[in-house]
């Protein structure tokens, strides 16, 4: 696949995911906005709000290009034209998703897959899916990780353990000493390696994107009718506060977007409709809240 | 005044401000927690919540010491003992305040004054007060800036214009291209200069701290009984979302605290009880909300 084919595949993926999420929500549809980037390219932002399941969610496609930022290449990689260093141009495309459900019993989910190439021939794939349950439910966590492991195992025996660890390390709120949720998989700068060609990694990457909708709609189905209390709702808003902390303090995509004059509304569509902070909130011992906190730690094995 | 006298003065200031805020609130009192810092020193955190005026607020005192972080001194400034560079020790003390009122008609306020010294003789004063009205009211904005100008003018003819500009530049949400609120004054690394000795700057600095309570309690008195709608409340939560963005993305004190293993609950007491984000929210033309946005810009002259 060339970059145009990858771009078109991502656009179709965006449409398909939105369709699946609309069916799972049952009441609201996505609203579409297209936008252009002054320096080159643009995107299609699709947002949904106040659905019966999804309180606020976004599925964002973008494809941008221009002169590559300096930190992405070494001078010796430049093409030289008449003695002058010519900076390579870049092309980047991807789909990013964050879904904040109304019910504290339904988990928050995030997915991103991205493709990057430069005119100097460098190219890579990146991506990840991670789950942030307001209350960690072991069966759901095992289902989630087992499904991701299946996607990985289809392509490489090493990828699940490698990318699960990468997600544990990446989705970590250092100042709270807790993981954002139960992790998932995360990978970056995949091209080819000892066992996989670029095309084989591309097939893996596409499977990650395609796995999102069936996994999340299953988690919605399992949890959307569960009853909850105002205490559950209060806890949900506190957990969303942590989500905001992660995204604004650590998330590389968010930081990159804020620093490079990206489209703010598309970048910050990841933030929840409502979040809350309470000074020094400490859950009751052995409560569901405390049990969830106990599981927000790296290195838990969620598969057999 | 030596560092011990400054520390004691700050502790008294903290007590006095809390007393004034309790009177202004009318129903709730501050709850006190003392904490120790493993590497040296500690603090007294005072928080108030769910008052009739103040929904969530904190007045934090700290006095910490230890080996100075590398970026704070040059090697040539080190004392040398038997050929070995000895890093200077530091002592830092200050009071930090953020108050989030229940009513959208009462502004959010922030104040911080801090004193820093090192064993190599380097010492300085820093501080600031800034106001973040959910709705900018010109009379209140003029009152606020005029009071700050009086404090400055008592000590130096240059300080108000200089430190007002510094606040405009500092309390700026770059990715939104808007100021956090209507600014105020901000200054850092004050020691002595052409016109002022350290002791004279210390007198100015103390006046800034002492000005906080009378200014903010007056603003509470003016606005606390104003009625408001659910639309006003919705806007307040969106503005608080911006406050969260500023504090987590830009605020130097917050970033320093998160990166240096500070006491998280004291650092993040600045975050509101509730905040909200809405995709691409655009106020009606000529609405009070739009008029406020129009005034969230640098360089407005709020005094005659």
Q: What is the mean pLDDT of residues B178-185?
A: 98
Does residue A81 surpass a pLDDT of 80?
no
Does residue A76 surpass a pLDDT of 80?
no
Does residue B74 surpass a pLDDT of 90?
no
Q: To 5 degrees, how large is the angle CA A159–CA A60–CA A202? A: 30
Q: What is the mean pLDDT of residues A35-41?
A: 91
Nearest-CA distance A51 → chain B (Å): 14
What is residue A138's three-state secondary structure? helix
Q: What is the mean pLDDT of residues B159-187?
A: 97
CATH topology of domain B3-294: oxygen-dependent coproporphyrinogen oxidase (3.40.1500)
Distance between CA atoms of A89 and A64, rounded to whole angstroms? 11
pLDDT at residue B130, rounded to an integer: 98
Query: Where is average pLDDT lowest: A49-58, A63-72, B244-253, B293-302?
Result: A63-72
Q: Are A145 and A155 in contact (CB under 8 A)?
A: no
Q: How many CA atoms lie within 13 A of A182 on its CB side?
A: 26
Looking at residue A194, what DSSP letter applies? Answer: S
Residues A224-239 have pLDDT tens digits of 999 999 999 999 999 9
Does residue B60 surpass a pLDDT of 60?
yes
pLDDT at residue A247, rounded to an integer: 97
Q: What is the mean pLDDT of residues A132-161?
A: 97
User: A47 to chain B: which residues are within 8 Å by CB?
Assistant: 279-280
Query: Where is average pLDDT lowest: A15-19, A52-56, A80-84, A109-113?
Result: A80-84
Among partner residues B33, B276, B277, which is closest to A268 by beta-carbon distance? B277
Among partner residues A49, A249, A277, which is closest to B272 by beta-carbon distance? A277
Q: Hey, is the C-beta of A245 within 8 angstroms of any chain B C-beta?
A: yes
Residues A248-274 have pLDDT tens digits of 999 998 988 888 778 999 999 999 999
Residues B187-212 have pLDDT tens digits of 999 999 888 999 999 999 999 999 99
Does residue A79 surpass a pLDDT of 70?
no
Does residue A203 surpass a pLDDT of 80?
yes
What pLDDT band is residue B88 in, cutting at 50, 70 and 90? confident
Q: The tokens of B58 are what?
A: 């904190």
pLDDT at residue B194, rounded to an integer: 83
User: B258 to chain A: which residues are within 8 Å by CB?
Assistant: 174-175, 249
Give the residue from chain B lying closest to A48, CA to CA: B279
SS3 for chain B, per residue? CCHHHHHHHHHHHHHHHHHHHHHHHCCCCCEEEEEECCCCEEEEEEEEECCCCEEEEEEEEEEEEEECCHHHCCHHHCEEECCEEECCEEEEEEEEEEEEECCCCCCEEEEEEEEEEECCCCEEEEEEEEEECCCCCHHHHHHHHHHHHHHHHCCCCCHHHHHHHHHHHHCEEHHHCEECCCCEEEEEEECCCCCCCHHHHHHHHHHHHHHHHHHHHHHHHHHCCCCCCHHHHHHHHHHHHHHHHHHHHCCHHHHHHHHCCCCHHHHHHHCCCEEECCCCCCCCCCCHHHHHHHCCCCCCCCCC
User: B268 to chain A: which residues are within 8 Å by CB?
Assistant: 245, 277
B-contacting residues in A 173-192 (Cβ below 8 Å): 174-176
What pLDDT band is residue A82 in, cutting at 50, 70 and 90? low
pLDDT at residue B84, rounded to an integer: 62
Q: Are B136 and B148 in contact (CB under 8 A)?
A: no
Percent share of chain B, pLDDT over 70: 96
Q: List the single best residue of A177, A277, A281, A282 to mutate versus B (max B Cβ within 10 A).
A: A277
What pLDDT band is residue A86 in, cutting at 50, 70 and 90? confident
User: B273 to chain A: which residues are within 8 Å by CB?
Assistant: 276-278
What pLDDT band is residue A74 in, cutting at 50, 70 and 90? low
Among partner residues B47, B249, B279, which is closest to A47 by beta-carbon distance? B279
Nearest-CA distance A272 → chain B (Å): 6
Q: End-to-end distance of chain A based on CA atoms, in angstroms?
A: 35
pLDDT at residue B233, rounded to an integer: 98
Q: What is the mean pLDDT of residues A139-151?
A: 98
Residues A287-297 have pLDDT tens digits of 999 999 999 99
Does residue B79 surpass a pLDDT of 70?
no
| Helix, strand and coil in chain A, % to nearest 5 | 40, 25, 30
Strands of A102-213, DSSP E: 108-118, 123-132, 172-173, 178-179, 184-190
Q: Out of B100, B110, B145, B155, which one is annotated catalytic? A: B110
Does residue B217 surpass a pLDDT of 90?
yes
B58 contacts A258? CB cut-off 8 A: no
Bigger pLDDT: A195 or B247? Answer: B247
Q: Hey, is the C-beta of A280 within 8 angstroms of any chain B C-beta?
A: yes
* Mean pLDDT rounded to a whole number for chain B: 94
Q: Are B68 and B88 in contact (CB under 8 A)?
A: yes
B244 contacts A244? CB cut-off 8 A: yes
* Mean pLDDT rounded to a whole number for chain A: 94
B248 contacts A249? CB cut-off 8 A: yes
Q: What is the mean pLDDT of residues B15-26?
A: 98
A278 contacts B273? CB cut-off 8 A: yes
Does residue B156 surpass a pLDDT of 90?
yes
Residues A90-120 have pLDDT tens digits of 999 999 999 999 999 999 999 999 999 999 8
What pLDDT band is residue B75 in, cutting at 50, 70 and 90? low
From edge to edge, which strands make up the β-sheet containing B123-132? Answer: B31-36, B41-49, B54-67, B89-101, B108-118, B123-132, B184-190
B280 contacts A275? CB cut-off 8 A: no
């Amino acid at each position: 696949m060339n970059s145009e084919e990858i771009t078109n595949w991502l656009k179709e993926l965006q449409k398909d995911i939105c369709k699946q999420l609309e069916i799972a929500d049952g009441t609201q549809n996505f609203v579409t906005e297209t936008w252009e980037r002054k320096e080159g390219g643009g995107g299609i932002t699709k947002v949904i709000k106040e659905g019966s399941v999804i309180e606020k969610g976004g599925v964002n496609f973008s494809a941008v290009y221009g002169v590559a930022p300096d930190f992405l290449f070494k001078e010796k990689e430049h093409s030289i034209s008449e003695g002058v260093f010519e900076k390579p141009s870049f092309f980047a495309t991807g789909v990013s998703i964050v879904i904040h459900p109304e019910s504290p019993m339904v988990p928050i989910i995030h997915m991103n897959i991205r493709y990057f190439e430069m005119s100097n021939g460098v190219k890579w794939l990146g991506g990840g899916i991670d789950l942030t349950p307001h209350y960690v439910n072991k069966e759901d966590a095992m289902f989630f990780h087992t499904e991701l492991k299946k996607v990985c195992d289809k392509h490489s025996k090493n990828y699940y353990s490698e990318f699960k660890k990468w997600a544990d390390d990446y989705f970590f709120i250092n100042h709270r000493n807790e993981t954002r949720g139960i992790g998932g998989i995360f990978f970056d700068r995949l091209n080819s390696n000892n066992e996989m060609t670029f095309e084989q990694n591309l097939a893996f990457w596409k499977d990650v994107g395609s796995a999102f909708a069936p996994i999340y709609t299953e988690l919605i189905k399992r949890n959307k009718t569960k009853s909850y209390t105002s205490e559950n709702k209060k806890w949900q808003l506190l957990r969303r506060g942590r989500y905001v902390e992660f995204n604004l303090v650590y998330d590389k995509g968010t930081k990159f977007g804020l620093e490079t004059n990206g489209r703010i509304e598309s970048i910050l569509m990841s933030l929840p409709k409502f979040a809350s902070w309470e000074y020094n909130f400490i859950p009751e011992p052995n409560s569901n809240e405390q049990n969830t906190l106990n599981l927000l730690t790296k290195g838990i094995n969620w598969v057999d």
